[in-house]
Structure formats: C-alpha cells, structure tokens
Amino acid sequence: MGESCHNPVVITVHHLDHSRSQRVLWILEELGVPYEIVTYQRDPKTMLAPASLTKVHPLGKSPVVVDGDKVIAESGAILEYLVETYGEGKLVPPKGTQAYLDYRYFMHYAEGSLMPYLLLSLIFSKLKSAPAPFFVKPIMKRISSTLMGMIVNPNMKRHLGFLAQHLEKNKWFAGDEMTAADIQMSYAVDALVTRAKQLGLSQKIVDLADRMHARPAYQRALAKGGPVIPDAD
Ligand SMILES: N[C@@H](CCC(=O)N[C@@H](CS)C(=O)NCC(=O)O)C(=O)O
C-alpha cells in the first residue's frame, strides 16, 4: 500500500508466507487501517523463517508488527493492540457480557490450548516420513503412532467436541457478531478443516471457516499475503 498525505502508512507487518500473519493482514483490512507488508519466505526444506526476521524481533517468528517506535509480536497481543488502538469499538463485544468473556477466552485459547496439539500432530506426522537409516525408520514410525494415539488424537477429539458444542450455541466464537477472537482462531480453524477430518470434524467448524473466508476483508488480505496453511508449524 502506498503512502499518501491523507492516509499515511504507519504500520509495517512483517509477514511470513503461509503463516499466522494472515490474521494480522485480515484484521487491518477489517479495520481499514493502512499498512505495508514486508514479506519473508520460508526455507523450502525446513519451512523455517529466514534469520533476517530476528532483526525485527529476537524470536524470529511471524507475525511482528512495527507501529512507529513500537515492535509488537505474538498474534493475540497484536490483534488486541490493533483493536484497542485503531478499532473504535469494532470487533470487540461490549465489556461485562458473556460474549466479552468468550472473546477473551478464545483470544488465549487459540495459541495457548489448541495450537500445541495441531503442532504436535504435524511434528509426529513429519517424524513418520523423516529421512533416517532403514533400521531406525520402523522405530520412529512406532514412536510417532504411539504418541499420536496416546496424547494427540484423544486431546484433538476433545477439543473438536468442545468447539462443536460451543458453535451449536454461538454463530461466532464470541456471540452473534464476528470479533477479533474469530480472527485469532482462524489459523487453527483452517488447520482443523485441512487436517482433522478423520477425527470427527463438525460441520459447524467447516461452516464457520466458510463464513470467515467469505469476508471481503479476508479475501483482500489473502490477495496481499498469499495462502495461509503451511506444510509446517
Ligand atoms: N504464538 C506465536 C507463534 C508464532 C509462530 O510460530 N509463527 C510461525 C509462522 S505461523 C513462524 O514464524 N514459523 C517460522 C519459524 O519458526 O522459523 C504467534 O501466534 O504469533
């Protein structure tokens, strides 16, 4: 996006391809806040971010947002900062309501409770096919399947059940209106739709993903940032 006298670009999004930073582009589009994107490409073999991202934030992860002299990392913290600073009440339910409690819950739940299992599931599935001496491969497969069966799949099923139940009663994660909590949940929702079909994925979750993808702001963010779900993390 270019700079103009009336609409000065103040925000830079450090954006990694196929990543969580789509959420930041999406919320900026929803709020109509001007921004520019600095794009980083994952290493095609390791799928990791380039080292240059550590110059923006020591962890070298995406997203990171720079707003004037402020450097903000961690997608939930970024979304909260953006709605508080630029939202004028948009995308946040009124305080003191059940919707506000749900909003805060899902802002934290996405990365704190749900993503770790999606990440573990991805790591174990990679482990199964990782290059290794032929005599080690069966052991790696065995370890991976055992841990998937003991830890990941039962927890994933429990989370899927919980989300389905919640979405039976709520159109969006925090009530009847879309909020920043839905944007925060969208990366995990996309990952579930892509990878959790065999674990009992509810149609409610698929429908919610469709509603998210249909938002014009989501589409604009996608056009600028590229596809979301990666092959890693
Ligand atoms: N909890 C952090 C996770 C950040 C994160 O892991 N980002 C991934 C992209 S989805 C990343 O930068 N991966 C590349 C790497 O680890 O090198 C957030 O929500 O911002």
Residue 233 Cα: closest atom of ligand 1: 10
- To the nearest 10°, report the CA torsion of 214, 219, 225, 230: 20
Which residues form ligand 1's pocket by a CB distance below 6 Å?
Answer: 16, 19-20, 48-49, 61-63, 74-75, 111, 233
Residue 136: predicted pLDDT: 84
Count of CB atoms situated within 10 Å of the CB of 77: 13
pLDDT in tens, 92-107: 999 999 999 999 999 9
Residue 68 has pLDDT above 90, yes or no: yes
Write the CB contacts of 44 (distance below 8 Å, at least 6 apart in sequence).
none
Choose among 103, 12, 102: nearest CA to 65: 12
Cα 73 to ligand 1 centre (Å)? 10
Determine which of 24-28, 118-122, 172-176, 178-182 has the lowest per-residue pLDDT on average: 118-122
Residue 41 has pLDDT above 80, yes or no: yes
Going by alpha carbons, the residue nearest to atom 20 of ligand 1 is 74
CB 94 within 8 A of CB 82: no
Q: How many residues does the chain have?
A: 233
Ligand 1 centroid–CA 63 distance in Å is 7
**Is residue 233 over pLDDT 70?**
no
Q: How confident is the model at residue 190 (pLDDT cuts 50, 70, 90)?
A: very high
Banded pLDDT at 4 (limits 50, 70, 90):
very low
Can you tell me which atom of ligand 1 is nearest the CA of 18? 10
Q: Whose CA is nearest to atom 11 of ligand 1?
A: 61
Indicate the pairing of strand 35-40 with strand 11-16: parallel
Among residues 52, 56, 65, 84, the alpha carbon closest in space to that of 25 is found at 65
- Identify the residue whose C-alpha is closest to ligand 1 atom 2: 74
Lowest mean pLDDT among 78-82, 100-104, 149-153, 225-229: 225-229
Measured in Å, residue 6 CA sits from the centre of ligand 1 at: 34
pLDDT in tens, 105-136: 999 999 999 999 999 999 988 888 888 888 88
Q: Rounded to whole angstroms, how far apart are CA atoms 148 and 124?
A: 7
